[in-house]
Every structure is written in C-alpha cells, then in structure tokens.
Chains A and B, each alone.
Chain A
Amino acid sequence: MSAPRRLGLRLLLLLALPAGARAQQSLPARLADRFQPAASGVIGIADHRVDAGLGFERTSGLLLGVQVEATPLEGTLLSVRALGGALGAHTPSTDARDVGEIAATARMRLVPWLDARAGLTTRTFTSSLARQRWTSAAIGADLRMTMLEGRLEGTAGAQLLPFVRVSGHESPNASFGASMGLRYVARRYLVGLGYQLERYDFPSVADRRRLEEHTMLTLRAAYRFGRMTRATAD
C-alpha cells in the first residue's frame, strides 16, 4: 500500500471514530435520554353544567385521549393533552353534544413542594344546533405532597384564567379553576388520577346571568422513555 493511501485511510479512520461513537446511540434514544418523554392514554369523565338564567342544563360523558409530556429542563414539565368524546344530556331540553379539547401545560418547580403552572386550552362543543369554541389561558400553582419517597405524589392546585374567549358570547368576567391529582410511579410506568373544575361567570345580559362549570375526572396510564435517572426511577 502506498504511503499517501495509508495516510488517507488513517485520516478516514480518525474522522469515522467520533461518528461511530455517536452512532452507538440513535438520535431518538439520545432525545429520549435528554427529554425523558412519557406517553399516556387518558380516559375521562366530563361534566358540563350551564345556567343561562333559563334553567339548569347538565351534560356528561366519557372522553378518551392521549397525553404526551417531556422534561426539557430539570424541574420543568411540558405536556400536551388531547381529549374527545360525547356528552349526553341529563336535563330536559338539553342537547347532547360532542366535545374535543387540546390543552398544553407548562410546569416549573419553584420549591420542592410548590410548582407554578401555565396553560393554554382550546375546547370545542359541537351540538346538532351549533359549534362553540372556548379558548383560555391559565396560570396557577400546584401544591405537591409526596408520599412513599415520591412514588406516590398528590397535587392540589388553583388557577386563574385571565384570558377566556368563547365564540358567540362575551368573555366571562370571572374565571378560575381548581384541581386535585394523585399519581403513582413505578419505574417507567405511571398511573394518575385527576379531578379538575373550571368555573366561568359571564356578564349579565338582560338581568340574566350565565354561569358555566366544567368538571372532569381523568385516569391516565403512562410509560416513560429514555434512560432511567435516579429521579425518574424514584
């Protein structure tokens, strides 16, 4: 083998070595290690109550959906949840409707027992008569209560919804939410129970005050990807 060819081969080998070392772990695996994503299946029961001054209306039904979340930085969590289902009428003169929602939430650990959260939600109610879209932004805080060395964790939160837009209506003049959650983590698996309430008080129109309340109970099962760290293992 001639000297220039040997030199060329050596250079090629030198360049290939770092690439080979990187190739030992695929890009998805490295992303999974970095962001610790989790994918969940969500089943929920929604309860929607309205009092527009003409009587009490209530619909409820089963929702199904998915949720994905990731940890871009330590102590933070980004999650996106999509749910959809049909709400059946439980009161007279109430239309059944379909509901679909997409919610994005960001959490940040302030202290070990308190998280700050902010979120955007868009929810659509579709009945045989009309379609109504709700868009809201929320900020709030969650109190964290760890049990069993963090394997079991409860949260209790309160949110303000400073921005709510409802198609076909004026925006409510008072909106807030409250939530409770409990989750159990076993290595890569997570099971969570959640309950949340959103209340909207709309401005009075012709002495009729519109009140709406949306509550939902969710149960989700998740699987976490990526390299197990001490925190995730716990």
Chain B
Amino acid sequence: MKLRVTLLVLLAALALAGVPRAARAQANTAETLTEASRLYDDLQVERAVVLLRRVLSPSSPFEVSREQRVEAYVYLGASLAILGQRDSAVTYFRAALERDPFADLDPARFTARERAAFAEARQRTLAVGSRPLPARRFDPRTEQVPIVFVSTQPATVRVEVRSLGDTTGVVLFDRESEGVREVAWNGTVDGAPVAAGRYAIVVRASNAAGDTDSSSFAFTIAHDHEALEDTLPDFHDGELLAERWPASAANRDLGRGLALAGIALVIPTLGSGHLDETGHPLARVAALGAASGGVFAFVQRRRHPVNTGAIAINNARRVQRAAHNAEVARRNAARLAAMRIVIIPEATGP
C-alpha cells in the first residue's frame, strides 16, 4: 500500500513536470487576474490592488503576456482611482495605453471617476497602434483588407504598408485623426498587386505638442495562383547552326567541282576503244566547265563566308522560340491576373 502511494505521488510529480513551464506560469497569472477582477467587482479593491501589484511586480515568478499586463494596469488604475489615488491611477492607465493604445474602459463596468482618470491618461499619452491583420486570402481586384488603427490623441497620423526588404510601400492614411479608425487596403502598391515578401503596417503620429509615437507589426504576403510556366532560355551557341561557313567548305566545294570534272573525263572511257580514235573533246569541255564551277564555288565561299541559309534557319528558330515565350508569358499573365493575395500574420511578442 505504501509503495502504491509513493508511485502515485511520483507519477503526479512527473505529470506536473511535463506541463510547459510558460503555460503554467501564464495560467497562474490568468488565475491571479481573474481573482483580482472578482475582488474588484466585489469592491474589495485593496485586496485586488495587492494581487494586481503582484502580477506587475518585476519579481513575479510568473510569465505575464502583454495583454495580461495591460489588463493588470487597467484594473490597477481603476482600483486606485476608486481609492482616490488619481495621480497613480493616471500613471497606471498611461502604462496601459502605452502598451495597448486600443485599451479603453467599458462605461457599463467602470465608474465615471475611473473613466475621467482614464481620459486624463489618454490626454497625457500619445500612443498609436494598429490591430494585427488576420490571416486572409483575397482578390486584389475586387476585395479589400480593413486596417484598424488608433491614436489616443488628436494627431497627424500616417499609416503605411511598407516592405521590410526594400523601400517600396503605400501610404494608406496621412492626416489628422483621433481614436479608432479603419482604412481599407486593396493589396496593391503603385497600382500593381503587392509583391510577395515580408511587410509591416507602420503607424506614426505626431501631435501639436511635438510628441511622436509609432508602432508597427509585420506580416507576410504570399501569392496564390496557378503554377507559372518557365519560358525557354535563349539559344546558346551549340543549339544554333554556324552562321559562317568553315574554311573547309570552300575546299569541299572546289573538291566537288574537280570530282565532277574527273567524272566527265572518265565517262568516255566507258565507251568502246574502237570508237575513241579522235578523242572526246566534248568531255574535256564538260570537265573544264565542272572544274570552273568548283573554282567559282571556292572563290564565292571564300569571299562570302556567311551562311545565309543557316542564318535564316536560326532566325526562324529564334522567332519560333520568341513566339513560344510570348505565349508562355501571356498564359502566366492570365494566371497572375487571377492571383489571390494571402496575408500570413507573424507572431507578436509579449
């Protein structure tokens, strides 16, 4: 029995060790925040403040996500506002806004005093931000992607989509703004669908007092289209006919002419010797003509070594290949025209 209890304890310890530390830490933070929220709702504000300070403490053993930290700052600011510590409340609300400019107080849950302190924090803090783009696939010709951004104060806000690889980008908004706004992006830059790659939505703001703030988040653009075909490369030397005759071509033509002359001289020997009394002057004339033809070809080939036939064939092949490539380009253009843009959000840090 004792052995069985020991084994169970050991198994439980192993199971606990198997749970990722971060998950357990965040679970503990979440539990603490839930408890603090419950205490806040039960008006046990002092006890809530203790828990919230524990969450925000640098010495906290638990991991705290950005959202949890913002939530803790908001509840801590609200609790301190209830306790009459307005300056501290504003400080914590500002901390919340600096981390999440979208942070706000629900009028149904928070009192006017809390909201007044929050409004003051907002007036003293210039913070801008934008909501991460959700994963999405869309047609740049007919659809648009909403981009939501916020400025805590009246400020000149500039929102742009910028490539992280080069300087290309598109400005979506550049004027006075306050609060949450939404602009639409159709996935194009300079009128053309945005190239695949890593991009960021960058929000910058500057107010009348000269304060500035910016935020950005990265995402990846991918293209979804039918597979493109490759065009054929240009011909290299080995694939085309030689456009100049080699020196041997002239010699070959001369040889053929002389061979014909020899044949002309041989032909009469096929006749009967009885009929050869006066020789064969016609054969000699024919041989002379054939030899002259060979010499003519030799001289022509030496003077004009350009192979016009090969050039014509090569040109025809080039034209054929160009036509093939143009057809491939046309098909590829049609496929790209039907392309969909895919937005892949990148994980954001705490």
Binding site for B on A (CB under 8 A): 45, 47, 49-51, 56, 58, 90, 145, 147-150, 152, 154, 156, 176, 178-180, 182, 184, 193-195, 197, 199, 201, 211-213, 215-217, 230, 234
Contacts and interface: CB of A to CB of B under 8 A. Distances in A.
A44 B282 CA distance: 10
A217 B285 contact: yes
B200 interface: no
Contacts of B290: 154, 180, 182, 193
12 contacts: A147-B253, A152-B296, A178-B270, A180-B260, A182-B290, A193-B289, A201-B272, A213-B272, A213-B275, A215-B271, A215-B283, A217-B282
B270 A215 contact: no
A61 to B, nearest CB: 12
B301 A148 contact: yes
Contacts, number: 99
A180 B271 contact: no
Nearest to A148: B297
Contact of A149 (B268, B282, B307): B307
B309 A58 contact: no
B294 A147 contact: yes
Interface string B245-260: 0000000010011011
A184 B300 CA distance: 13
A234 B311 CA distance: 13
B95 to A, nearest CB: 85
Given A56-B277, A156-B263, A47 B286 contact: no
Contacts of B257: 147, 154, 182
B267 A178 contact: yes
Interface residues of B, number: 33
Contacts of A49: 271, 275
B293 A152 contact: yes
Contacts of A216: 282
A211 B276 CA distance: 11
Residue picked from B267, B274, B294, most chain A C-beta under 10 Å: B267
Contacts of B282: 45, 47, 195, 215-217
B278 interface: yes
B297 A90 contact: no
B268 A215 contact: yes
B320 interface: no
Residue picked from A49, A180, A216, most chain B C-beta under 10 Å: A180
